[in-house]
Amino acid sequence: MKFISTRGKSEVSCSAMAIAKGLAEDGGLFVPEIFPQVSKEEFETMLNMDYAERACLVLKKYLEEYDEQELLSACKNAYSKFEDSDAAPIVKIDENLFIMELFHGPTLAFKDVALTLLPYLLRKGCDISGIKEEVLILVATSGDTGKAALEGFKDADGIKIMVFFPSEGVSDMQKTQMCTQEGNNVNVVAVNGNFDDCQTAVKNIFSSKEFNDSLKEKNVILSSANSMNFGRLVPQICYYFSAYCDLVNSQEISMGDKVNFVVPTGNFGNILAGYYAKQMGLPIDKLVCASNSNNVLSEFFASGTYDANREFFKTISPSMDILISSNLERLIFELSGRDASLTEVRMLELKKCGKYSISEKEKSVLNAEFFANYADEMTCKQTIQEFFEEFGYVLDPHTAVAVDVRNCFVDYSGNNKPTVVLSTASPYKFAHDVLFSLKGKAPNDAFVASDKLALETALPVPEQILSLKSKERRFTRVIEKGETFNAVLDFIAK
């Protein structure tokens, strides 16, 4: 299967090359030439599979050149790192309301689902593509991707990884997780700015021919672990299928019934994976896009104009503190009828003016597939408190945003089909804010807050959090957003 760029000037012959490259040379994102279909017989087969086997079946639809038995072995190895080897367990909350817990992996965030598998996909992709150079992975993170990528790639042969994060734009626990990371091939640098500044800096590095030529002289090539890389995106498609199978197996739905998915959304990769799953035949009714106070996406869905020229808010759901949602480009490409020239014009308008608009016809298609809304800070905190009081379930701030938007969706549309809310992180990554939401006060120290949250909720503190207390903080460098090029050169010179 070919992979083509959303901007039309680049294509590769297979998924391995798309994954190895990360970003297309024309600045666009790789998308599959077609959406492969999952047959009725394959759906039935998946019902009796474990998570790794389901993932392999879905992945093989795109990763045609990867050996199936090797891929299955890689999936089993990746998901053995999750509690009960299940990357996406479903918890029933109430009639027609379910939460898919995506935080039982090594770093307690949904990014683990893809980033425990990506090292295999990338290394194998390089081998298939004949790439022998050392690979330097650059990551911009709003909190969770950084740690998950660092953990996934630590000490990987032939690969170095460097993560940039906004110095004051992640939670204390997220910062501690990244800055104590072990591994001889890793580097973490804080940037004075927000996530969009970090992401723009990384994109500029990828698009700089001069910089890339200088790396090649050092026998180094760039790749990405952000969801801009198709290898990060494709494993996320799998858990939509797995959730559906679990609902069928528990007799909550019958095969063929439509369900809704509600996704806390920042960079648009997680919900785009759901859109891809629907294009592959998964019976999804509505994809509900949930934003926080940085509600650029919900306004885009309402107006048809994407306008990043707005105030940036630092919130208690920092992984959604994003104004430039990179993966939206893939959806814009589809909405336009795969018009690469039009997509490129729009992305250039975004870069130059901070905004672009879609047509009324495209907006109509968009709203047929999606519903979007947002929850502000007060609503988010209130939802954490009320949900715990009613159900005894502890939400992290990102999932709380999704729960509130789900309620808005039901009230607005009357659509009360079985609905799965994607829970993207453990509440212990945001212990201070969750405890404050429940009690109206909380200690500033993240570890003390974790202990108090455990006493308040009887939810055990994960070992991944407890073990951080004794780890050395290895990375303390803080740079200005214009210094990222030099920071990368410093790292590869080591």
Residue-wise pLDDT tens digits, 315-346: 999 999 999 999 999 999 999 999 999 999 99
Question: For the segment 386-436, what is each residue's pLDDT rounded down to a tens digit?
Answer: 999 999 999 999 999 999 999 999 999 999 999 999 999 999 999 999 999
Q: Look up 361 and say whether it is catalytic.
A: no
How many angstroms separate the CA atoms of 25 and 29, rounded? Answer: 9
For residue 108, what pLDDT is reported?
96
Q: Is the pLDDT of residue 494 over 80?
A: no
C-beta of residue 192 within 8 angstroms of C-beta of residue 160: no
Q: What residues are paired with 134 via a beta bridge?
A: 220
Which pTM does this prediction carry?
Answer: 0.94
How many angstroms separate the CA atoms of 103 and 127, rounded? Answer: 31
How many angstroms separate the CA atoms of 301 and 250, rounded? Answer: 34
Distance of CA 487 to the CA centre of its chain: 25
Question: For the segment 257-314, what is each residue's pLDDT rounded down to a tens digit?
Answer: 999 999 999 999 999 999 999 999 999 999 999 999 999 999 999 999 999 999 999 9
Question: For the segment 5-39, what is each residue's pLDDT rounded down to a tens digit?
Answer: 999 999 999 999 999 999 998 999 999 999 999 99
Contacts of 30 (CB under 8 A, 6+ apart): 3, 4, 5, 6, 12, 18, 21, 23, 24, 230
Token code pair at residue 303: 């107006």
Task: Identify the active-site residue in 21, 111, 124, 203.
Answer: 111
How many angstroms separate the CA atoms of 431 and 428, rounded? Answer: 5
How many angstroms separate the CA atoms of 268 and 106, rounded? Answer: 23
Contacts of 70 (CB under 8 A, 6+ apart): 124
Token code pair at residue 216: 């090649």
SS3 (DSSP) at 60 = helix
* Helical segments of 80-136, H only: 111-115, 118-129
Token code pair at residue 269: 């990769």
Token code pair at residue 457: 């909720």
Q: Which domains does the chain have, with CATH numbers?
A: 86-104+232-465 (3.40.50.1100)
Average pLDDT over residues 235-260: 98
Q: What residues are paired with 135 via a beta bridge?
A: 159, 221
Q: Is the pLDDT of residue 368 over 80?
A: yes
Percent of the chain exceeding pLDDT 70 equals: 100
